Every structure is written in C-alpha cells, then in structure tokens.
Structure 1
Amino acid sequence: MKSFFYSCKQTLSRAFCLSAALVCLCSSNSAWALFSDDEARKAILDLRKSLATTQLDLQNQIDALKTENAKLRGKVEELEKQGEEINTSQKTYYQDLDNRLGNFEPRTVTIEGVTGVMQPGEKKAYDDALSAFQSGNLKKAEDGFSAFITRYPKSPYIPLALFWSGNSKYANKDYSGAIAQLQGMIKRFPEHPRIPAAMLTLGNAQLESGSKVAAKKTFSEIISKFPDTDTASKAQQLLTATK
C-alpha cells in the first residue's frame, strides 16, 4: 500500500512539472525566440501528450485504489457476517444445551405467570398430552393430563394442565368431570390469564349438563369481571340464548 501511494505521489509530481513547463513555454516570449515555429509546436504537442499520458496513469492508479478499497470492504462485510453467524450458532448451541440439561435436572421456570420447579421429563409429558388434544385424540389427551396432574402436583404447568383437562373432558361430553376440573382451576388460580376461557367452558359444561341457573351465573360473572373482551362478548351471546 505504501508503494502504491508513493507511485501516486510521483505521478502527481510529474504531472505538475509538465503542466508548469507547458505554462512557461506558452507564456514566455523568450521561449518563442529559442525555437522555430515547428519546433515550438512539436514541443507543445509533446508536452500535451506527456501530460495526457500522466493523467491517464493517475486515473488508472485511482481506479485501482478504488477497486482495492472495494475488495477490502467486501472482506470486512464477509468477516462481520461470519461473526454474526458464529454468535447465532453459539446461542443456538447453548439454548440446545440448556434444553438438554432440563431433561436431566430440575430447574425453575415461569409458565404464563406461574413460577415453579420443573422436574425432568415434566415438559415432555405436558407437551405429549397437549399434542394429543390438538390432534383430536381427546381420550389420550384426557388420560395424559390426568396422569400429569397426579404425577406433578406442584408443577408450574398445573394451571394449564387443569385447563386442558377440563376442555378434554368437555369435548368427551364428561360434563360433570369438566365442571369439577375447571372449578378447581378457577379456585386455585383466580388470577391466571386462562381464567376467562376456563369460565366460558365451565358455563357451557353447566349448560350442557342441564344446570341453566349455574350457567347463567357463570356467564354473568364473565361479563362483569372481564368487560370489553371477546370472551365477555361470547358469554353475552350465550346468556341471551339461554332461556
């Protein structure tokens, strides 16, 4: 790089000298006295040619410098991209490692506002039951959530397990079982974000079991406790339709 700038410096110096000579030759009366017209014209043409060549050399060197800078920028961008990829890879690695460790040792987690110690295998048991519910295998889901609640009574997933267990029972037309499960969840976790949805399912289960008075009360509580929500709107529709 130093040799490159030194070359540029020499080229500029040569261009300056040629320009100065051309100016002196054109402006000095004595210069015309020393040369004949043809010689003077030839000298001027030679100077112009040399100057043009020098300018071309200088432009070529400038273009080469621009190309070199572009290459350097490309290398810098490539290194930055590689650095980002390494950081992403490390985050993925440590996250995967953390998940793997979670399968072998207890750890404290917070699930939808509920903090507790999750035991090894606990999350998989919950996920398996939820997957069964989502795929429509309601009997397997109900059995899975019931087993989960029995095995992990202090799990931070318990509110969700009770919620989905109640929904599984309701979908299986076990209305009394759904009512008991959902009422238990509402009583134990009154501030849980799933309470409005749990109450809506509870009201439907009460309605399906023939307990219209209880269902109306549940729908009215939803409207009172959770106004201006989609759940309250649905509760209002059900309340209006219940005679």
Structure 2
Amino acid sequence: MRRAVALLLLSCAVLPARAGLFDDDVARKQIETLRTDHENRLQKLEASARGQIELANQIEALKQDIAKLRGQIEVLTNDLDQAQKRQRDFYVDLDTRLRKFETAAVAPDAAASAPAAPAADPANETHDYEAALNLVKAGKNKEAAAGFIAFTKAYPKSSFLPSANFWAASALYQQREVADAAKYYAKTAEGWPDDARAPDALLGLSNCQTELGDKKAARASLEKIVSRYPSSPAAQTAKQRLSKK
C-alpha cells in the first residue's frame, strides 16, 4: 500500500515537468516560424525596394535620353530650316538672273512682231510675279502657292511661266500638298525641258512620287535627270539616290 502511494506521488511530480518541456518546444517552434516569416517578408521588401530603385534609375536614364534626343531634333530641325532657306535663296537669286536674261531675249522678238491679240500689261505681269516671289522669300508658302497658281492662269503666255509653275510646286510641297506639288513639278519639267529649273523640277517630282508611294515612278524621274541633264547638280543627287534604291 505504501509502495502504491509512493508511485502515485512520483508520477504526479513528473507530469508537470513533461508538460513544461512540451510547452517550451511549442513556443520555440512558434518563435522560429515567426522569425522565418519575418525574414521572408523582409527579403521581399528589400527585393521590392531594389526593384523600385532600379525602375527609378531606368526612368531617370530614359528622361536623360529623351532630353538628348530632343536636343538633337532641335539641332536637326534648325539645320533643315537653314538648308531650306539657303535653297530658297539660291532659287530666288537664280530666278532673278534668269528673268533678266529672258526679258532681254524676249524684248526684240516682241518688238519685231505685232501681237495678234491684246497682250497683258508687262508692268502688271512683273508686279504680280514679284509679289508672289516675295511671299516665297517671306516663307508664306500657302499665300505664295495661291499667288503663283493665279499668275499661271492670268498670264498663260508669260515668259515667267516656267518659274511660276516651279515656285507653285515648291510652295505646295512645303505645305505638304504633295499630290498638287507633283502636278506642277511635272508641268515644269515636261513643259519646259530646256529651262534651267527642269532638272530640279524632276527631282522635286521624284520626292513627291516617293511620298505618294509610287517608287517606280520616283526612280524613273531620277533616271530622266541623269539621262537628260548629266552635268547638272540635280543629276549628282539623282545618282546618289539611285545607288541606294
């Protein structure tokens, strides 16, 4: 009996100790789980932060690239404007010289033959032509195109017609009215093939045909320049373009 009581007392003393050990193991596992979960979350946050920093760096790099491209575009745009101005000034100067030559050449013929019908007033004709040309010089392409087109209708027998048609085409092209520009370039090139502007008219026509998607016609126009006007500056440009096509 005494022995049974002793065993009972011993078992009662051991059970709380085992329960305490069990509780400690559970607590350790819970702490370890919490620590692991915390570390995983921390790693994810760090990875997210690094990703955001990299994204911010990429955005900043893109902003710098865009700023550089804008600067380059501004430079190229300015260069193009200057090139167009130089080309316009060249043609205006050429036009002035040609008009002087044409006026001197036409005057004796006009004096030798009596006109069959009343001729246009030369003063008005010159005034209207120069008024349209001044619009070209001022860069007012819309008004210049309208002025030269009106001139071709008002003075259908004028010695200025090659120039008027050429300038109408150039002004229309600057206005991005490509189809109409092509019509006047073609009229200049085919109507006055011996005129000094004919090679450049064909070159302008080729530009229009390219933009209109007619590559075959554009190439044919370039080939005409090379075959008809081999010594002209336009022919050199045409050869370069043909070598790339």
For normalisation by structure 2, the TM-score amounts to 0.50
| Shift >4 Å, 4+ stretches | none
Could you say which residue in structure 2 is the equivalent of 1:218?
Answer: 221
State yes or no: 1:119 paired with 2:118. Answer: no
Contact 1:112–1:193 under 8 Å retained in 2: no
Measured after TM superposition, the shift of residue 209 of structure 1 is 1.1
Is 1:191 equivalent to 2:194 in the alignment?
Answer: yes
Report percent identity of matched pairs.
31
How far did 1:174 drift? Answer: 1.2
User: Structure 1 residue 182 and structure 2 residue 173: aligned?
Assistant: no
Provide, for residues 5-52 of structure 1, a one-character-per-residue CA deviation record: whole Å limited to 9, x for no partner: xxxxxxxxxxxxxxxxxxxxxxxxxxxxxxxxxxxxxxxxxxxxxxxx
Counterpart Cα distance in 2 of 1:173 and 1:159: 21
**Contact between 2:199 and 2:232, CA under 8 Å: does it hold in 1?**
no
Shift of residue 119, structure 1, vs aligned partner: 2.4
Say which SS state the counterpart of residue 133 (structure 2) adopts.
helix
Distance 1:215 1:113, change over 3 A: farther
Distance 1:234 1:180 in 2: 21
**2:205 aligned to 193, 196, 202, which one?**
202
Instruction: State the secondary structure of the residue aligned to 1:155.
Output: coil
Structure 2 vs 1, CA of residues 206 and 113 (structure 1 numbering), >3 Å: closer, same or farther? farther
Q: Deviations over 1:54-112 (max 9, x none)?
A: xxxxxxxxxxxxxxxxxxxxxxxxxxxxxxxxxxxxxxxxxxxxxxxxxxxxxxx8527
- Structure 2, unaligned runs of 5 or more: 1-99, 111-120
Change over 3 Å in CA distance of 1:110–1:152 after alignment to 2:
farther
User: 1:29-108 residue pairs with structure 2 within 5 A?
Assistant: none
Bigger proportion of residues as strand? 1
Q: Find the partner of 2:240 among 222, 229, 237.
A: 237
Per the TM alignment, residue 230 of structure 1 is displaced from its structure 2 partner at its CA by 1.6
AA partner of residue 141 (structure 1): A
**Secondary structure at 2:217's aligned position in 1?**
helix
Query: For each residue in 1:179-225, what CA deviation from the matched residue of structure 2 results, as whole angstroms up to 9, or x when unmatched?
Result: 11121222221211111111111111111111110000110111122
Partners of 2:221 and 2:104 in 1: CA distance: 24
Paired residues in the alignment total 134
Q: Does 1:172 align with 2:163?
A: no
RMSD over aligned Cα atoms: 2.1
Correspondence for 1:158: 161
1:224 partner SS: helix
Give me the whole-angstrom Cα distance separating, in 2, the residues matched to 1:229 and 1:152. 29
User: Could you list the per-position Cα deviations for residues 124-177 of structure 1 after superposition, in whole angstroms to 9, with x for gaps in the alignment?
Assistant: 111111111122110010011011111111111111101111111111111111
Distance 1:114 1:219 in 2: 31
**CA–CA separation in structure 2 for the residues paired with 1:137 and 1:207:** 25
Q: Is the 8 A contact 1:110 1:156 kept in 2?
A: no
TM-score, L = length of structure 1: 0.51
Instruction: Structure 1: state its 5+ residue gaps.
Output: 1-108
2:105 and 2:209 map into 1 onto residues whose CA distance is 28
